[in-house]
């Protein structure tokens, strides 16, 4: 009997090995996404009875200024944070791409911002941003600059939050690019120097093309996660003041779990999913273009 079972397993190993995970994926991921689509075409308060309304929720979203404001904030946050993370990350990668004492220790330090618990990070930044007692204003004053309201100001809430995101995720971009830089053969540089290239030309014609695909991967990963940012925003501002820093993700969360309008929340999440998918497909296309 066990012999037969074992032989059965051997013949079908190819699909028996992944089977438990596939079942889990269907239950955990695919099911909820489909359920979410089903919920989105209903007027459905959590705990209430669903009423089919077709595309009603989507139409409502398009007429809701809070949806447009959320969409704008989502892209504002991403478009400020991600390019700066890429540029700063490249700078840091080039800076640290050399031999020096304490290299291992430095690598560990660089990892800390991205692995530390986001709630703890958000909390400390909230204290640092505090307009009357926070240390950020102390720094501004030390530099001779006027004090700022930081996240308490409608205009500065998103830029301040991107500052936290940049602090948290630039290290990851830097490490991705650093790994790519270390793969560039030094002979290339030596050949370039013999040919009379200066550092700027070497950077432009050797370094940049060699790390291009790593940079695109970093760009895609960061864009996806920046569009979905939740913890930092929800803990520091909860979308405020007013709705000044409310992204689509935070708006959908409040709609679903503070106002219990599951149907409307589900439709907002479909908009967000389409945005994330669209951006990642678009960015992925740049990967195939010849350098």
Q: What residues between 96 and 155 interact with another protein by CB under 8 A?
A: 96-100, 106-121, 123-128, 130, 132-133, 135, 138
Q: Which is nearer to another protein, 62 or 112 (CB)?
A: 112
Binding mask of the shown chain, residues 227 to 246, with x at each position contacting another protein by CB under 8 A: xx-xx--xx-----------
- Could you tell me the smallest distance in angstroms from the CB atom of residue 216 to another protein? 10
| Residue closer to another protein (CB basis): 63 or 108 | 108
SS3 240: coil
Whether the Cβ atoms of residue 175 and residue 110 lie closer than 8 Å to each other: yes
Return the SS3 of 51. Answer: strand
Single out the segment in contact with another protein by CB under 8 A; choices: 53-61, 65-73, 88-96, 148-156.
Answer: 88-96
HSE-up of residue 29 (Cα within 13 Å, Cβ side): 5
Distances (CA, A) of 186 to 5, 98, 193: 55, 12, 11
Which residues in 267-286 contact another protein (CB under 8 A)?
269, 272-273, 276-277, 280
State yes or no: residue 53 binds another protein (CB under 8 A): no
Identify the CA nearest to 268 among candidates 240, 247, 237.
Answer: 247
Q: Is 253 in the site for another protein (CB under 8 A)?
A: yes
Q: Give the residue with the Cβ less far from another protein, 145 or 155.
A: 145
- Based on the shown chain and the rule CB under 8 A, indicate whether residue 20 belongs to the binding site for another protein: yes
Nearest in space to 267 (alpha carbons), one of 49, 40, 23? 40
Residue 63 touches another protein, criterion: CB under 8 A: no
Rounded to a whole number of angstroms, the minimum distance from the CB of residue 250 to another protein is 9
Does 90 help bind another protein (rule: CB under 8 A)? Answer: no
Q: What are phi and psi of 185, to 5 degrees?
A: -65, 135
Q: What is the spatial distance between Cα 57 and Cα 50, in angstroms, rounded to a whole number?
A: 13
8 Å CB contact between 206 and 118: no
Closest separation in Å from C-beta 35 to another protein: 4
With CB under 8 A, what is the number of residues at the site for another protein?
102
Q: How many residues does the chain have?
A: 291
């Amino acid at each position: 009997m066990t012999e037969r079972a074992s032989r059965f397993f051997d013949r079908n190993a190819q699909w028996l090995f992944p089977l438990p995970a596939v079942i889990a994926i269907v239950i955990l991921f695919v099911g909820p996404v489909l359920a979410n689509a089903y919920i989105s075409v209903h007027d459905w308060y959590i705990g209430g009875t669903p009423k089919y309304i077709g595309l009603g929720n989507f139409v409502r979203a398009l007429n809701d200024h809070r949806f447009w404001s959320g969409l704008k904030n989502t892209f504002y946050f991403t478009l400020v944070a991600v390019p700066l993370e890429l540029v700063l990350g490249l700078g840091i990668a080039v800076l640290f791409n050399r031999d020096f004492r304490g290299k291992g220790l430095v690598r560990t330090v660089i990892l800390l911002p991205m692995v530390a618990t986001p709630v703890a990070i958000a909390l400390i930044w909230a204290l640092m941003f505090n307009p009357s007692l926070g240390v950020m204003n102390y720094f501004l004053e030390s530099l001779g600059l006027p004090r700022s309201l930081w996240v308490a100001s409608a205009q500065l809430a998103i830029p301040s939050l991107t500052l936290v995101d940049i602090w948290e995720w630039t290290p990851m971009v830097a490490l991705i690019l650093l790994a790519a830089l270390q793969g560039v053969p030094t002979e290339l540089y030596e050949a370039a120097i013999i040919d009379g290239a200066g550092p700027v030309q070497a950077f432009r014609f050797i370094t940049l093309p060699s790390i291009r695909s790593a940079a695109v991967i970093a760009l895609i990963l960061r864009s996806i996660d920046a569009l979905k940012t939740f913890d930092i925003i929800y803990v520091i501002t909860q979308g405020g003041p007013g709705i000044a820093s409310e992204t689509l993700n935070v708006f959908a969360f409040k709609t679903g779990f503070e106002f219990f309008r599951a149907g409307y929340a589900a439709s907002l999440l479909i908009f967000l999913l389409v945005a994330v998918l669209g951006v990642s497909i678009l960015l992925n296309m740049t990967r195939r273009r010849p350098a």
